[in-house]
Structure 1
Amino acid sequence: MPPDSLIPPHGGYKKLRTYKLGNLIYDATAAFCEQYLDRKDRTYDQMVQAARSGVANIIEGSEASATSKKSELKLTNVAKASQEELLTDYQAFLRQRGLPEWAAESHAAQTVRRARPETLDQLRQLMAALVADSELLPETPLSDCRTCRTCQTCRTEFAQTKDAVRSKAARKAEVAGNVMLCLINQETYLLGRQIARLAADFEQEGGFTERLHRIRTEIRKKGNSEWASRD
């Protein structure tokens, strides 16, 4: 940035990886809540609003950077806090349904990190692949009379089929919740790095007030030099 630039370049949030990933998390959370939560449930609105806040504060912080680095830092911190709040909601979703939370170094979690989906369609394809990888199916083939559900064989096989369907639904919920945890963990990590960089820039260059002081000082020095040269 030129030393005499009072208003620095700002508003380039669309190029930020945190903005792009935050938008994906927002869209995916809206879809997740639509599928797994009741619209009347307070958690539905809470999760969608937290995801939205994560994106909105990145935008506001980027725009505010023109005149206030402190505001940019504060708003980026708010974005990170919103993502951390959303993280706990997804953890609660898994816990309350008795579904496991994947370890950070598990094969599935590593697969998500390597995939780096950029669109909702890519994310859905990733989730479907993870579900298929561990899909639970009935252990025994259904008999020819499976539709009667009256004989002992059919009652047993019908129960196995229901368990398999239930297991598949649980697996889908487990994958969906854990994939979102992976994405949010990536986002909070990236936001943490972004905050550290903003803090370092602020310490080194100061904010609007410091830039204004430097420019005024330079103008006065330049004016004094001109008067001195006339003498």
Structure 2
Amino acid sequence: MIVVRLCLNGLTQVARASLEELKLDYEDFLRQRGLAEWQRGHPLRQALIDRHCKNADEVARWVIEAAKSGGPSGQSRQCGQDAERSTPSTKSTLSTERYPELSANAVLTLLVVACALLDHQVARLAADFESKGGFTERLYKVRAAKRRTQS
């Protein structure tokens, strides 16, 4: 029983560490380019979560739509920390300039969701293990029941 718990915990920690490392890479990407990182209450972050995208193509479509609309209010604006110092752009240039910030923040948002789902899965596996036992334990019960019915 302890071995299964350690295995589950170990694999979970490896997965979580990989996600956290990827998260740091995307945070560095935004910081190095002077782009804004969306905090928890950011409207675009919430809009992406509310969209419930089912695959990467849906996320890509959302990024394109968000870039074209200029944000949740539909007003064009520049992203990042250096927006005031930038030279004016045409709408099409402005929307394509937003792709790196939108894409990186979309990935960061999805990483947060993935970590939360991983945490829920681990909690469920632990609860199932405690209530139903591990594979070997269940196999023993099935074999013992079969022996009793054969006797």
TM-score of the pair, normalised by structure 2: 0.71
TM-superposed deviation, 1:187: 1.0
User: 2:21 maps to which residue?
Assistant: 85
Distance 1:160 1:209, change over 3 A: closer
The whole-number CA distance in structure 1 between the counterparts of 2:17 and 2:125 is 16
Two-structure CA RMSD over aligned residues (Å)? 3.1
The whole-number CA distance in structure 1 between the counterparts of 2:41 and 2:87 is 33
TM-superposed deviation, 1:167: 5.9
For the pair 1:214 / 2:141, whether they are aligned, the reply is yes
Match of 1:198 among 117, 125, 144: 125
Distance 1:165 1:96, change over 3 A: farther
The whole-number CA distance in structure 1 between the counterparts of 2:49 and 2:139 is 43
User: 1:97 maps to which residue?
Assistant: 33
Give ranges in structure 2 of 5+ residues lacking alignment.
Answer: 71-75, 79-85
Q: 8 Å contact 2:45–2:106 — kept in the other structure? A: yes
Counterpart residue identity of residue 116, structure 1: H
TM-score of the pair, normalised by structure 1: 0.49
Q: 8 Å contact 2:68–2:95 — kept in the other structure? A: no
Match of 1:180 among 93, 107, 110: 107
TM-superposed deviation, 1:177: 0.6
- Percent identity over the alignment is 35
Q: 8 Å contact 1:117–1:123 — kept in the other structure? A: yes
User: Residue 98 of structure 2: SS of its match in structure 1?
Assistant: helix
User: 1:63 maps to which residue?
Assistant: none
Q: 8 Å contact 1:99–1:170 — kept in the other structure? A: no
User: 1:125 maps to which residue?
Assistant: 61
Aligned residues: 136
The whole-number CA distance in structure 1 between the counterparts of 2:139 and 2:77 is 65
Match of 2:52 among 92, 98, 116: 116
Larger radius of gyration: 1
The whole-number CA distance in structure 2 between the counterparts of 1:162 and 1:132 is 13
The whole-number CA distance in structure 1 between the counterparts of 2:125 and 2:88 is 55
RCO greater where, 1 or 2, for CA within 8 Å and sep 6 or more?
2
